[in-house]
Structure 1
């Protein structure tokens, strides 16, 4: 797949944006591929967790490919508005993936690159990474980021990032709650993989229930959120019986995702 590499092993899928010469910019082809890839994970029983990263050490993603946008402008091509047209939005596709998604930010994550990271459940960053939404400097709109960022960090800080378009370093991003952890660049991939193993080692139906419950219940009144019936039901699963039996018998459970 052009611009996107996918590897699945030990129930962990690693998705790598592979355009290092373009700072892993999100071309139309890359975004269409990501939609297909993450949609596919929803139905792939071999994938229990996803790690999303970029090739090289300069960028997770520099965002939408502005060279491609510029070429379209020169040719008077119609600009496709976010959340319009027949195709799914790639950011929403990652956000709605039924499997846990860890972003390993191996370099700059700006514009659409940060929006892609915001669509992930957990964000780990290399210590040299910088993050930001510079759309105000480009006349763009950060449609996804402007809605999701204030739900992740305090609203005043989100306003600051959006209004100024300035980038912040990894340490500041951690302080603000934008990333979970910061690691030396050489350790980032290993830490992301270890975290994915930890998640994939738990009951998969429970983890998927958490994801759907949190995603769909976050903006509901608590009384309504507590009564949501979304995602797989772990209480009636074979894995629930196995988990209890493994605890009683002092052994590692053998999950079957059913």
Structure 2
């Protein structure tokens, strides 16, 4: 789709690999535009039931915004990289709003925008050597997405600490605070992430999509208000619900159709 980004769909899974290992998978403008395009397509494609995001190599998931590219733009007198004011949609927002379950496999460092991309995903699985940080305070940047989402994922004091200091945390510390869901040896990361995604595909896709929609719409509402949300898709009236009940009665695996 774009230089530095590999995108493919196999067996109902959308695979996205940031492929700039020589730049520690930094997020250049072309890569970020490609992420927007890919996730817009995944969101609209009923044949995509889950998405897996990772980086090339074993050193970095993504080092974040390509600061060398940004420095060149500054030198040329380009506009400042103000969040939510660019001609293209913010890629982290697009990933966050994707209706399909999204999984990030952190194969190395997730820094700045790289961590923001990981936080935009629903589930994060990290190699044991991965390191995570929002170092924007060290570079005069803003971590706009991270400053909104991080306090929703970890205790407030931890969010303040990471944002204020820009410090790097280990995968193990990130797991302790719930910033990553699981830490595995680096050699097992690809298989673990693939196995996790395949576990999702074994479940009813409309139910999973509804779970995501309910969580996102109801997270900050009262239970009474959240319970009354008319969230779609509706698995209760779906063919898959009938199939799931029939499969249970017939003692066989269900054959989901996503409708």
Question: TM-score, normalized by length of structure 1?
Answer: 0.98
| Structure 1: unaligned runs, 5 residues or longer | none
Structure 2 counterpart of 1:174: 175
Return the offset for 1:14. 1.3
Q: State the Cα deviation string for residues 15-55 of structure 1 (Å, max 9, x = none).
A: 10000000000001100010010010011122111110000
Matched residues in 2 for 1:180 and 1:59: separation? 18
Structure 2 counterpart of 1:31: 32
**Is 1:184 matched up with 2:185?**
yes
Structure 2 counterpart of 1:255: 256
Structure 2 counterpart of 1:103: 104
Structure 2 counterpart of 1:11: 12
Matched residues in 2 for 1:80 and 1:180: separation? 31
Q: Secondary structure of 2:58's match?
A: coil
Q: Secondary structure of 2:124's match?
A: strand
Matched residues in 2 for 1:68 and 1:46: separation? 36
Structure 2 counterpart of 1:60: 61
Matched residues in 2 for 1:13 and 1:56: separation? 19
**Is 1:241 matched up with 2:242?**
yes
Q: Larger deviation: 151-160 or 71-80?
A: 71-80
Matched residues in 1 for 2:144 and 2:232: separation? 27
Aligned 1:36-55 pairs, distance under 5 A? 36-55=37-56
Q: Larger deviation: 221-230 or 161-170?
A: 221-230
Q: State the Cα deviation string for residues 77-134 of structure 1 (Å, max 9, x = none).
A: 1113101133211001000001000000000001000000000000000000000000
The Cα RMSD (Å) is 0.8
Aligned 1:62-81 pairs, distance under 5 A? 62-81=63-82
Aligned residues: 258
Matched residues in 2 for 1:23 and 1:86: separation? 26
Matched residues in 1 for 2:99 and 2:40: separation? 9
Matched residues in 2 for 1:168 and 1:244: separation? 45
Q: State the Cα deviation string for residues 227-253 of structure 1 (Å, max 9, x = none).
A: 111220000001000000000010111
Structure 2 counterpart of 1:125: 126
Matched residues in 2 for 1:106 and 1:6: separation? 17
Structure 2 counterpart of 1:205: 206
Aligned 1:218-233 pairs, distance under 5 A? 218-233=219-234
Matched residues in 1 for 2:108 and 2:116: separation? 14
**Is 1:150 matched up with 2:148?**
no
Structure 1 segments (4+ residues) deviating >3 Å: none
Matched residues in 1 for 2:99 and 2:201: separation? 13
Matched residues in 1 for 2:70 and 2:91: separation? 17
Matched residues in 2 for 1:204 and 1:42: separation? 13
Return the offset for 1:222. 1.1
Matched residues in 2 for 1:229 and 1:16: separation? 35
